[in-house]
Amino acid sequence: MKKLLFLLLIFPFVWLPFGAVSADTGPKPGMEFEFSQEVAGDPLTVLDGVQYECSQPDCSDASLLEDAGPQGFRCYETSCSSVAYGYSDYHYIELTFSDGKTRQSNIFKTAGFNSSYKATIREGDLLVEPRLLNLNATQPYLVFLFSCLCCLGFLGIVALGVFLLVRFLRKK
């Protein structure tokens, strides 16, 4: 009887997985690349590409952005994007286009949590620039200026309210 009770208690644990369990939580930083073309002729499409991550400004320590779960670099005909658990400070991309040429970009910095870049296809390379409307970090002074203007606007409304209140109280 004790053996049967012991087996009944142990039996549910036999079906539990022995492998490691992992969870992927929270948002991941990302990059979006949209292309424009300076090369004459038919519009080029992206066939394949990779993204390199670097800690040094000259990318002397470049390493590929690895595919790991949601992390990776993916290209479509007219755009590319990447997601990472965390980016390095500097990057460059290398893409193969429908004209058979592989072009490498300039070294560019991370422009924010969700960065947006304009990549210009040139004859021998790619020019990657942060998009101006990406206020995540491409133009941090604009965010600071906007915050200051909001604070000044709020203070102006408070001052107007105090002025009108004092004027109302004087009339009584």
Q: Which of 18-32, 85-99, 154-168 has the highest mean pLDDT?
A: 85-99
Structure tokens at 82: 């990447």
Q: What DSSP letter does each residue of 83-116 carry, written as one string? A: E-SS--SEEEEEEEETTS-EEEBPPEE--SSEEE
For 56-70, what is the mean pLDDT?
Answer: 92
- pLDDT at 89 (0 to 100): 92
Q: What DSSP letter does each residue of 29-97 carry, written as one string? A: -EEEEEEEE-SSSSPP-EEEEEEEEESSTT-TT-EE---BTTBEEEE-SSEEEEE-SS--SEEEEEEEE
| Cα(82)–Cα(30) distance, integer angstroms | 6
- pLDDT at 23 (0 to 100): 60
Whole-model pTM: value is 0.63
148 pLDDT band, cuts 50/70/90, is: confident
For residue 57, how many C-alpha atoms fall within 13 Å in the half-sphere facing its CB?
A: 0
- pLDDT at 112 (0 to 100): 82
- pLDDT at 139 (0 to 100): 57
- pLDDT at 138 (0 to 100): 46
- pLDDT at 21 (0 to 100): 58
For 49-75, what is the mean pLDDT?
Answer: 93
Asked if the model's pLDDT at residue 156 lies above 90, the reply is no
Task: Report the range of poorest mean pLDDT among 5-19, 46-60, 62-76, 113-127.
Answer: 5-19
For 48-64, what is the mean pLDDT?
Answer: 95
The closest alpha carbon to 136, from 106, 108, 165, 116, belongs to: 116
Q: Which residue in the block uniquely carries the two structure tokens 């004087």?
A: 170
